[in-house]
Amino acid sequence: MLTFDAYTVNAAGLQVTTGAAAAVAAIPVNAAGKVPKHVRLQALANCYVRPSTSTPNCSVNDILLTPNEQVILNVASFTHISHLQEVAAAKFNITPLES
């Protein structure tokens, strides 16, 4: 039996621009003002991402986020998304999800 989770978007997300050094962005809060359990990430160019605390710990060995694809991550025990450009600066969005 297949099951699918349905998520809603009830709060604004955050657009981030990556750089040559790893950096972090705080996960935007959901409509209840809390860090969400899940986020949706989508990029305009290749970049690397990793759920984290406030320490930038992303490397080229982490999740490769590519254009025109979305990634939904469980970030229940994290507060930030660490990010790093692949070749050039990339914009990506972090959208808090609610189920």
Quote helix, strand, coil % in the chain, to nearest 5: 0, 45, 55
Q: Give pLDDT, residue 59.
A: 97
Identify whether the C-beta of residue 24 lies closer than 8 Å to the C-beta of residue 67: no
pLDDT at 23 over 90: yes
pLDDT at 5 over 90: no
**Which whole number is the average pLDDT over 28-46?**
95
Identify whether the C-beta of residue 53 lies closer than 8 Å to the C-beta of residue 59: no
- Short-list 11, 13, 17, 19, CA closest to 43: 17
Does pTM surpass 0.75? yes
pLDDT at 75 over 70: yes
Mean pLDDT of the chain: 93
- Short-list 3, 1, 84, 77, CA closest to 39: 77
Q: Give pLDDT, residue 99.
A: 81
Domains observed in the chain: 14-97 (2.60.120)
The sheet with strand 63-65 has its strands ordered as 23-26, 80-85, 47-52, 63-65
- Short-list 14, 21, 79, 75, CA closest to 48: 21
pLDDT at 18 over 70: yes
